[in-house]
Structure 1
């Protein structure tokens, strides 16, 4: 099994089996106990070419060792073996002599009987023998201590000519191979399988059916070839196929037992999980999460690979990516998975011994028990192997191993007993590919496979055939091998520490201090919904730290100086946008006009405030400081599958927006709210030329609090039932507000669902001269209007026109992207007014704050009849207030 990225050696694939001299050394050779790239000796290659050579490595030598030692080659007749693997080579990390006990016959007991079968001796060339290392004690499936040799995790290793001359066995020396006949104890195997047959697998002409395999395990004495150097106790208790089926047995989710414990943290939905584990797991859709080339976590839920595996210690999973929607059947792989960023990140996790967090969803069918919550933290894992398999497409697979295998997993059932302990079977079998010269573990019992996706023998058995799905039964020695790490301690707890307040003004508004909370009482993940702090919806725990207000003097940006004079503009607009400028009341009023149809214009007015406006009595400075400490009830509204990233509250007439929320009467609002309504009514009146004071023009105010890095993506304010004018007062940090035509209006194309299929058609909106393909669109619109086609034929013709429009774009011009037409730089105390119903219909705007904290107070007119009777407020929409007239800032 290649524990490194096979694409590191793309250049190797161009060389033949004899030309390895020019190859560079392994990129991992600087790591202790890793080999340099070495050549496989010709006699070993010739033996491997027969299709039956299997190399077993028990440990590794440091790359600077002068030589390495291999034990005898043990050859047995394949007629006596269920798994044909006659050639085994054992490598030790110390000088050793083969202990005499390795040639003694295995003991027998009531569970199995072992017979020793010797092969004719063949002379071999003398070689150096080295002293054996002491075996390490592990436990078998019944918890009894057994001796196993140290394991190797070296991959992509090559044997040099020098090593071959000294160490590789030839035909001058002999030893014996042992074929162990295993008689399985039916009672013991029945206990392991819990008298429940495993999930049926597809049958194949190459292997007996699973039922036949189990029956054979119980009624006969199958032969399993073992290396002479390994104790028969390691694998003789069970037939390997039956053992594999027992280890990988799957139970339907509704039949799974309850777990023995509870997860450290859990969540009811994806967005609370991601917000609470920010920095560790923040993938809102995918299973894998990594950042800057570092693998951090995996989510194991639905849509797993057929050969994914999850037991008490080991996980095998498919890499994420290369998936697409498959109608109503979920996700389906559409292309080969290529070794890209995620693959490289997993290789780094292996070589740098960096733990990876794993989270499990309640739709996962591999986990041993029924998950108690929607999402559950499992544990920290070590990545041990990365490789590529072949299904209909290439699939990248990972093997993960629990970081601390000595702790009992909380997700195992109460009376769970492992089929076999981790490490009890020793290390897996390994073999070199005769084509690409790379070494891989044997993953499946059907035989060794080259796992280099760039090799011509990729996914081929030794006889050249490719396995079908029924043959791919995991080798339990691969599944249950143990990978020691120098440090097996978890780096952090899944329960992140609670945020503590800072005495520095503004620190409370930073994004890293506003993530979700993993409840210290019950472990539930909770997003921060309320402005005042965190509340656990599971157990009721509250954490509401005191926020240090940010004074108005500290929000002054030195890059945008403001004085008593009329301020400068930092806006920009495209050339075809009409611009006019006026000065009054210490505001610079800039009006941007652009067409929304052939005969109508919309306009955006930007009022830029100076120092006089900001410091006015009950002006922006006082409003800003008061809102920070006297504005209760701000919350994050719920969207369809998440929460808004800003905090909001509505006053006056209810405003549904894209997310429903509560509304409060103006009588319950802090004074800056009613002051803002009065100021915005005044600003609309003086910039529109309307001398009639209409107190009812704005009857609603939507207050939004933006914290650091929070923003409002492109949207419009053209909901049905609203007036044609929208006005906003900006307080606090500077922000950028942009306007652009909507894509369907600008490009003249949109996607629709018609007759049970998705299609892109040309729109019937009149184009503007500034839009792409203006003349062609005018021509097509005239054709459609005069054709009088039935609906189906018209949709087909509009789809043909959309195809022609796309083809008419210059090669490097996007047919989907739209450039911003107007960019406003909003400062503290600035006002923005948008006028024109068609402006909201055909144009959209977005807002991106640039500092720590910003308030946006936006007024609209909710028209009569807009709301249903059940949506009408149970209070009077009272606008009684002081009428603002701008007299204190008149100039």
Structure 2
């Protein structure tokens, strides 16, 4: 992939912006392992950016707590009520990705799995009526601004991002189209910065400021032609030639009558065109809401549990690490026990109970342990369960349940929210055949397999294939078949039972 020109830098004569990933060029028969590619990307020299982001977070949970337009702890696109509200650009953005100070071109995501080289590729066709595609198209048609976030694992920008997750700016969706990616097709999107007059903090340090709006050309648009096959218009995205971008068309992803080449160059007109500013296109909220200023000091509702942007940039030292010194203590008013009572307004002096005769009726004893009511449920052949029922007299005793209810709210019990941890689990599947933490991998011939099988696979008694599994296991133990033959035979055996 050719170097990506940065705004404000002199352009090299003859330099073109090509599609693809920031990796070394591939040569036939000399594939670079994915771990080496990842290391090469990590070790590349990143340029400092112009400024700090308006807000940032070091983990996704903090980000989702504080930003109202992105509540997606897993995945890159936050959609709700049929619209796309926020977009995360991180790690693998897919083939033919382009990012600069004002434009983002990337895949929508979803329906992807890692191929044999460790790159994400569509596992199946992504249709226009899929949830993600419908949401991004709805934001395009409704001219709804989308908030964007940069993750530090994304290296297409070639900028040294200061934090793990960095709030970018508001963007507008200008184009959504479909491309052939491998053997399947997937959706791509072009975002354009909403405020073109504002400096982009992620631009290269020392780069020129954005061109004034009055000097920009908003009238020139890229070429758009109508397909003779489907009679639908498609924009010219690549310099190599115009293609129909409608996946249902027979001429989809063809230049003339020939399939498009694997390496494509973006159409300069598609990259450089800009949409005219429109005051009617406005976000539904602030990019970084000032949640702290709206909090009631005596509030006890759910809003106090949300995240916020810290207004203090100073740092303190605690256990050898830098931590933020800012804190704000809320006045926590204990909730009255009255909210737990019914409409009688006062605690019941005696708890009346009606027992459903369809279930067990207990023995009732109001004398032996008064004022407790003793209920005994006898279980034949097992024993009994005793339930001691309290009333208002018991609950109101000093250091009793009422005082405990208030004390639990006033005392500092050392409870703190902790980040969500990602655990690798071993799950039991229908066939008890595969590890739950094994990833699907591409074998290189277009087939996808589910990784390694369990080495110690016990035969489940009573299962549909108990006899067949037992025969295979005995042959493997006796050395009549190899471990690979045993694993393949198990996969074949269970594959024939799908849908039965």
- Indicate whether the TM-score tops 0.5: yes
CA contact (8 A) 1:422 1:480 kept: no
Aligned residue pairs, count? 440
Q: 2:243 aligns with which of 449, 461, 474?
A: 449
Partner of 1:611: 391
Partner of 2:54: 264
CA contact (8 A) 1:290 1:296 kept: yes
Change (3 A) 1:608 1:631: farther
CA contact (8 A) 1:264 1:495 kept: no
Deviation readout 1:423-459 (Å, 9 max, x if unpaired) = 4782111211112111122111112111111111111
Q: Whole-Å Cα distance in 1 between the matches of residues 349 and 474 of structure 2?
A: 61
Change (3 A) 1:798 1:500: same
Partner of 1:408: 199
CA contact (8 A) 2:92 2:119 kept: yes
Q: Could you say what secondary structure the match of 2:48 adopts? A: coil
**1:564 lines up with 2:365 in the alignment:** no
Change (3 A) 1:785 1:624: farther
Change (3 A) 1:516 1:448: same
- 1:330 positional shift: 5.5
TM-score normalized with structure 1 length:
0.43
Change (3 A) 1:329 1:564: same
Partner of 2:403: 622
Partner of 1:789: 477
**1:363 lines up with 2:182 in the alignment:** no
Partner of 1:397: 188
Task: Using the TM superposition, name which of 363-372 and 304-313 deviates more.
Answer: 363-372
Change (3 A) 1:387 1:590: farther
- 1:636 positional shift: 2.9
CA contact (8 A) 1:762 1:799 kept: no
Q: 2:296 aligns with which of 492, 501, 505?
A: 501
What is the 5 A alignment of 1:326-725? 326=115, 329=118, 331-339=120-128, 340-367=130-157, 369-392=159-182, 393-417=184-208, 423=217, 426-461=220-255, 463-470=256-263, 472-484=264-276, 485-490=278-283, 491-498=285-292, 500-501=295-296, 508-510=300-302, 512-522=303-313, 538-556=323-341, 564-565=350-351, 567=353, 585-586=372-373, 588=375, 607=387, 609-612=389-392, 614-615=395-396, 617-637=398-418, 640-641=421-422
Partner of 1:192: 11
What is the 5 A alignment of 1:770-809? 773=462, 789=477
Partner of 2:36: none
CA contact (8 A) 2:144 2:281 kept: no
Q: Whole-Å Cα distance in 1 between the matches of residues 349 and 433 of structure 2?
A: 48
Deviation readout 1:200-252 (Å, 9 max, x if unpaired) = 889xxxxxx9xxxxxxxxxxxxxxxxxxxxxxxxxxxxxxxxxxxxxxxxx98
Q: Whole-Å Cα distance in 1 between the matches of residues 254 and 325 of structure 2?
A: 58
Change (3 A) 1:270 1:196: farther
Q: Whole-Å Cα distance in 1 between the matches of residues 250 and 487 of structure 2?
A: 48
Task: Using the TM superposition, name which of 342-351 and 630-639 deviates more.
Answer: 630-639
Change (3 A) 1:590 1:261: farther
CA contact (8 A) 2:199 2:209 kept: no
Q: Whole-Å Cα distance in 2 between the matches of residues 419 and 517 of structure 1?
A: 30
Q: Whole-Å Cα distance in 2 between the matches of residues 604 and 287 of structure 1?
A: 54
Change (3 A) 1:344 1:582: same
Task: Using the TM superposition, name which of 321-330 and 364-373 deviates more.
Answer: 321-330
- 1:306 positional shift: 2.1
Change (3 A) 1:802 1:197: closer
Cα root mean square deviation, aligned: 4.8
- 1:332 positional shift: 3.4
Change (3 A) 1:778 1:407: closer
Deviation readout 1:50-71 (Å, 9 max, x if unpaired) = xxxxxxxxxxxxxxxxxxxxxx
CA contact (8 A) 2:105 2:191 kept: yes
Change (3 A) 1:555 1:790: farther
Computing the radius of gyration from Cα coordinates, the structure with the larger value is 1
- 1:611 positional shift: 3.2
Q: Could you say what secondary structure the match of 1:274 adopts? A: helix
Deviation readout 1:710-764 (Å, 9 max, x if unpaired) = xxxxx9xxxxxxxxxxxxxxxxxxxxxxxxxx9859x78364489x813498646
Deviation readout 1:782-812 (Å, 9 max, x if unpaired) = 989998935997998799789878988996x
Q: Whole-Å Cα distance in 1 between the matches of residues 305 and 491 of structure 2?
A: 45
Partner of 2:31: none
Change (3 A) 1:320 1:343: same
CA contact (8 A) 1:446 1:473 kept: yes
Q: Whole-Å Cα distance in 1 between the matches of residues 379 and 270 of structure 2?
A: 69
Q: Whole-Å Cα distance in 1 between the matches of residues 290 and 92 of structure 2?
A: 29
Q: Whole-Å Cα distance in 2 between the matches of residues 638 and 608 of structure 1?
A: 39
- 1:415 positional shift: 2.2
Structure 1 residues without counterparts, runs of 5 or longer: 1-140, 144-189, 203-208, 210-250, 525-535, 574-578, 595-600, 643-657, 659-714, 716-741, 768-772, 812-891
Q: Whole-Å Cα distance in 1 between the matches of residues 385 and 192 of structure 2?
A: 61
Q: Could you say what secondary structure the match of 2:87 adopts? A: strand
CA contact (8 A) 2:122 2:186 kept: no
